[in-house]
């Protein structure tokens, strides 16, 4: 049976740091990962493929994204920093490409510090082989016990001719998102939105608590110092 690959979707968004480059701070990159499983039925009788749906890979747990300091955005340096976190040279190469593209956007201040949020989504395609004795119509009626699972994992790369289609979809990472978890900011009773004192940036309260609990004492975006008792750091 012809094998398929893991689909890799990488999105990135660069925003200027509020702190000037002369302040002694460095560029910051945050990487989050999600994994999904997508199942297909492959009918051996005629080669027809139909989607059976997708669901999150609950066996994968990604912690809060690491906030890595970057001295510069030269290719070798970025790759070494990213691969030190992902431990996957192929995936690290793809993520490095996205970071380099974002860091060189013409609309960003030249020479200024950057905060780059990177979202990595891996989709594992699982093909369920349906014997020739079963037609698509029969399978749709519930005769799926004959399925044999075949899951093949690999990664994909593209050559330079596909560079245009590989450009970062920065529009899909909405500006109104929590810079710590990279999820859309949405107020709820269980996870309200809050601000750190001294700056206007908003985050999920739960994310801020975890951020401060990691021995950080400043806003992850503007690096404004958090003064006073951390227990008073949240303002609804």
The per-residue pLDDT for range 41-94, each reduced to its tens digit, is 888 777 788 888 888 888 887 666 678 899 999 999 999 999 998 889 999 999
Answer whether residue 1 is part of any domain. Answer: no
Residues 155 and 188 in one domain: no
Residues 126 and 200 in one domain: no
DSSP state of 183: P
Residues 204 and 116 in one domain: no
Answer whether residue 84 is part of any domain. Answer: yes
pLDDT at res. 73: 94
Question: Would you mind telling me the total number of residues written for the chain in this entry?
Answer: 236
Banded model confidence at residue 189, pLDDT cuts 50, 70, 90 = low
Answer whether residue 162 is part of any domain. Answer: yes
* Tokens, residue 25: 């701070």
Contacts of residue 210, Cβ cutoff 8 Å, sequence gap at least 6? 64, 180
pLDDT at res. 80: 95
C-alpha to C-alpha distances, 154 to 4, 7, 54, 86, 158, nearest whole angstrom: 8, 9, 18, 16, 14
Query: What range does the domain containing 66 cover?
Result: 7-173
pLDDT exceeds cutoff 50 at 175:
no
- Domain-ending residue, one of 132, 155, 173: 173
- Per the structure, the count of domains in the chain is 2
Residues 136 and 210 in one domain: no
CA–CA separation, 153 and 135 (whole Å):
27
pLDDT exceeds cutoff 50 at 142:
no
pTM of the model: 0.56
- Judged on CB neighbours under 10 Å (0-12, 13-18, 19+), 15 is middle
Answer whether residue 129 is part of any domain. Answer: yes
Residues 139 and 183 in one domain: no
Of 163, 35, 33, 145, the residue nearest 85 (C-alpha): 33
Answer whether residue 79 is part of any domain. Answer: yes
Residue showing tokens 């990279």: 182
In degrees, rounded to 5, the angle at the alpha carbon of residue 31 between the alpha carbons of residues 28 and 36 is 170
pLDDT exceeds cutoff 70 at 225:
yes
* Tokens, residue 47: 């080669």
pLDDT at res. 188: 65
Select the more confidently predicted residue: 30 or 211: 30
- Domain-ending residue, one of 131, 151, 173: 173
3-state secondary structure of 67: strand
pLDDT at res. 100: 95
Residue 197: count of CB within 10 angstroms of its CB:
14
Answer whether residue 143 is part of any domain. Answer: yes
CA–CA separation, 31 and 177 (whole Å):
14
First to last CA, the chain: 56
10 CA to centre of own chain = 6
C-alpha to C-alpha distances, 19 to 7, 108, 113, nearest whole angstrom: 37, 14, 7
Residues 145 and 219 in one domain: no
pLDDT exceeds cutoff 70 at 14:
yes
Residues 154 and 62 in one domain: yes
- Asked if residues 185 and 207 have their Cβ atoms less than 8 Å apart, the reply is no
């Amino acid at each position: 049976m012809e094998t398929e690959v893991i689909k890799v979707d990488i999105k990135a968004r660069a925003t200027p740091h509020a702190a000037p480059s002369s302040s002694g701070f460095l560029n910051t990159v945050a990487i989050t990962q999600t994994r999904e499983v997508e199942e297909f039925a492959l009918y051996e009788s005629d080669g027809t493929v139909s989607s059976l749906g997708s669901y999150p890979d609950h066996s994968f747990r990604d912690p809060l994204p690491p906030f890595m300091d970057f001295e510069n955005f030269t290719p070798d340096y970025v790759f070494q920093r990213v691969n030190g976190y992902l431990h996957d040279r192929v995936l690290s190469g793809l993520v490095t490409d996205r970071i380099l593209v974002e860091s060189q956007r013409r609309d960003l201040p030249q020479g200024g510090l950057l905060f780059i949020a990177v979202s990595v989504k891996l989709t594992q395609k699982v093909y369920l082989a349906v014997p020739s004795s079963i037609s698509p119509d029969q399978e749709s009626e519930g005769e799926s016990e004959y399925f044999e699972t075949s899951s093949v994992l690999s990664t994909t790369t593209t050559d330079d001719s596909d560079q245009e289609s590989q450009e970062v979809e920065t529009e899909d990472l909405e500006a109104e998102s929590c810079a710590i978890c990279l999820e859309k900011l949405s107020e709820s009773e269980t996870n309200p939105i809050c601000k750190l004192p001294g700056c206007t940036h908003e985050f999920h309260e739960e994310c801020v608590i975890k951020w401060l609990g990691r021995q950080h004492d400043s806003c992850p975006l503007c690096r404004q110092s958090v003064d006073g008792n951390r227990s008073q750091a949240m303002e609804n």
